[in-house]
Chain A
Amino acid sequence: MDNLKNLTKKPLFLPIFCMILVLLINLIKSPTFFSVSVNNGVLYGRLIDIINRGSEIAILAVGQTLVVAVSAGTDISVGSVMSLSACSCCMLLAGYGNNSVSTLVVPMAVGMLFGVLMGGVCGAFNGALVAKLKIQPMVATLILFTAARAIGLLLCNNQITYIRYEKYKYLGNFIPGCPIPTPVFVAIIVIIIIAILLRKTALGLYIQSVGINGRAARISGINSDVICFICYLICGICAGIAGIVASSRIYSADSNNIGLNFELDAILAVALGGNSLGGGKFNLAGSIIGAYTIQAITTTLLAMGVSTDKAPVFKAIIVIIIVVVQAPAFKSYMAARKAQRAQVKEAA
């Protein structure tokens, strides 16, 4: 019993528990859920689907985790920034005004880097507002939440820009000869880079210090504003990368749909990962597991035949339950009830 109690206190207990729960439900519901087969030389199956489709959320969750930790606020612009980054990339590749091309105007890598760069610029903009001008994160990022998607639409001349160039599809789908979907690699690379950054430098310590007590951190010689700025910058770059991946999946820039509502999934991933949205200490691994859990929930619902437009309702219910169970207020309420019951028993 004591062992179990200790287990539940481990920081990664909740995210892993949620993940297993979702997978378990799937297993009972449809035993074929876990079957993985090889079709046309690539892996195929629901599990692969989750890992594949969850890549963008995972990438976003990495950046979002840092933002939440450092500023006790969320970057709600990431979904729109994804769209802007996809549009900038496709605009550059196709040339302004063209809505469907099969040859590229500039090399593919240049276009993609430009897209990621645009994400970085958006992140820097958010970072400057929050770190330097001390605007509340929610309000500061609300600007790009509304504006970025519109700017993307302008860049693409109000239309969906298709890049009908075979290699452009690689990043969001499969590289010939490799059975594993490419987005998985992208997510892994992003996660590894950030993890190394946190492990090999003092960035993690700085972020947590600033998030917990910015004033004290500054007195101790940490430039709180710069650290806050860096986190938003990283978050923007992550959104940029996610945007390029999402664009490559559909080999086009669909300004209105790319990254739609992804900011919510990213924030939820952070919360599900057991991170406090009040900032301070954070756990990157938790957020990443949270991201894949959310994708698992989505995929499960779709697999159960819930239509795409109704899925968010069920998703919301599941998320509410998970978040409520995790809330400190709920925990202490349960503890108080337990104590009260014990008292009543004693009295009787």
Chain B
Amino acid sequence: MDENLLITMRDISKSFPGVKALSHAQFTLRKGEIHALMGENGAGKSTLIKVLTGVYSLDAGEIHVAGFDGPVVNHSTLEAQEKGIATVYQEVNLCPNLSVAENLFIGREPKTKIGTINWRKMNKRAKEIMDGLQINIDVTMALENYSLAIQQMIAIARAVDMDCKVLILDEPTSSLDDNEVEKLFKVMKDLKNKGVGIIFVTHFLEQVYAVCDTITVLRNGEFTGEYSVEEMPRVKLVAAMLGKDFDDLASIKKEGTGEKSDEVVVDAKGLSHKGKIKPFDFEIRKGEVVGVTGLLGSGRSEMVRCIYGADRAQTGGLKVKGKDINIKEPLDAIKAGMGYLPDDRKADGCIGDLSVRENIILALQARNGIFKKIPISKQNELADKFIDMLQIKTASRETPINQLSGGNQQKVILARWLCTHPDFLILDEPTRGIDIGTKTEFQKLALKFAEEDGMSIVFISSEIEEMLRTCTRMYVMRDGAQVGEISSEMTQESVMAAIAGGGE
């Protein structure tokens, strides 16, 4: 094996019931290389990584790892770790109830002479590690006290501290803000200089060009090609991922912004939830697409959760189509014609082991009530309709939702709400962690629903560009409070200035 090669994967194939996830895929990782693994949802990126780390067994093909003779088969992530392959997944896989230090050292705690855990040493080392990443936190506090972004950094710190030769980052940046991404990139470059090979899975093209050396593209489980970043302009990369010339994002444009319907669908005054969101006002008209912008943790999600009743409003009043209503539970909101696609897909959206069909009809069933069971024929009809309409890639309507890729899961949750024909639909980060093609689809769908069906839509996204394309105005959030509204001259700069709130 070549001195420089860390990992060679050849002719990897893997099937799941009804789906061929990988077919003759290839991948090569060299020392000191940051290698982007790209592809649409369901292209097989996650599967390839899970085969490499031993989460899945492979059906065919060979994996070679530097320092080991012959083909290597990992049966568990632990075996992969022993071979120096560490992974940080998109969804943080740490223990929220343990302290930061414990999470960093779990399974390899420093011991005292008599074999108990050396807490002082462990906390001290943990502090050093976090300081090294310029993250100033109390390492003895439970992990759940920190934001998702910090948790993600801790997961990375843990992997890095284990002296890995190969670091796999599976969409680590989807929940990080720009500052944190910068920090992460710095860490990645340091590691690269130390000769660590990094596999970087992401949907953000900018990030690929900012930090990567090489790109491998997968499409429909097949290897499309390996390219060096210099010789691969964006357009070509997107074309390689989609297998066709890219449907230009610019073609999405809101139309008919001039005429506004007079019908106010939702009118909230002074809603608040103690400790989460300070009193705010909110108003949306029929067929309007409104954005909510702000940094992570600024109260974007908290605001819409409060309207929807996911966190019950403690003050203020809410009118839906002119009528006062009191929302105690999400069910009340659903009955009033609301729908809410939550930002945390795994925790608040998917019912993992249930089928696509059951996940789709769930909210409609809840609205109908427990005694009016939707006949199975009707359920099948609905499921098929939305699988077809949203082009959900699934083996069948009876496939458990957790076997679907992230973007397709998101589509299923969207279908769940479309089933109920809401007047008011909240889309909280619908495009997070999904591929660029599906992102465009979601934006188009939001516009279509607003225009053709007269739905009022709240669109929340970390990517300002997405909101600029879809929204007619935006509420600006900062530090758990509503600080303003932008309705004219919406540009990247003006929105960013509003978010940052200069001079305060």
Contact = CB atoms under 8 A, between A and B. Distances in A.
Given A200-B373, A220-B366, A281-B353, A213 B329 contact: no
A209 B372 CA distance: 17
A217 B342 CA distance: 12
A202 B354 contact: no
Contact of A213 (B310, B351, B371, B372): B351
Contacts, number: 82
Nearest to B349: A216
Contact of B371 (A201, A205, A217, A280): A201
B347 A205 contact: no
Which of the four size classes fits the interface of chain A? Answer: 20 to 34
Nearest to A281: B353
A216 B310 CA distance: 10
Contacts of A336: 75
Interface in B330-384: 330-331, 334, 340, 342, 347-354, 358, 362-363, 365-374
B187 interface: no
A201 B330 CA distance: 21
Contacts of B371: 201-202
Nearest to B373: A202
Given A201-B373, A205-B365, A339-B73, A218 B330 contact: yes
Interface residues of B, number: 32
Interface in A200-245: 200-203, 205-206, 208-209, 212-213, 215-223
Nearest to A280: B353
A207 to B, nearest CB: 10
A343 interface: yes
A204 B341 CA distance: 24
From A202, A221, A339, residue with most partner B Cβ within 10 Å: A221
A222 B331 contact: yes
A213 B331 contact: no
Contact of B347 (A203, A216, A222, A343): A216
Secondary structure of the A side of the interface? helix
A312 B365 CA distance: 45
A202 B362 CA distance: 10
B330 A219 contact: yes
Interface string B241-258: 000000000000000000
B57 interface: yes
B74 to A, nearest CB: 11
A221 B363 contact: yes
B45 interface: no
Contacts of B347: 213, 215-216
A175 B342 CA distance: 58
A201 B334 CA distance: 20
B416 interface: yes
Contacts of B373: 200-202
A223 B328 CA distance: 11
A8 B347 CA distance: 32
From B342, B348, B363, B371, residue with most partner A Cβ within 10 Å: B348
Contacts of B368: 202
A221 B330 contact: yes
Contacts of A218: 310, 329-330
B358 A205 contact: yes
Contact of B370 (A202, A219, A220): A202
Interface in A163-201: 200-201
A213 B359 CA distance: 12
Contacts of A223: 329, 331
A9 B347 CA distance: 29
B351 A221 contact: no
A150 B187 CA distance: 64
5 contacts: A202-B374, A206-B366, A208-B358, A209-B358, A220-B330
Kindly list the 3 A-B residue pairs having the minimum CB-CB distance in the complex, ordered from nearest: A221-B366, A221-B331, A221-B334
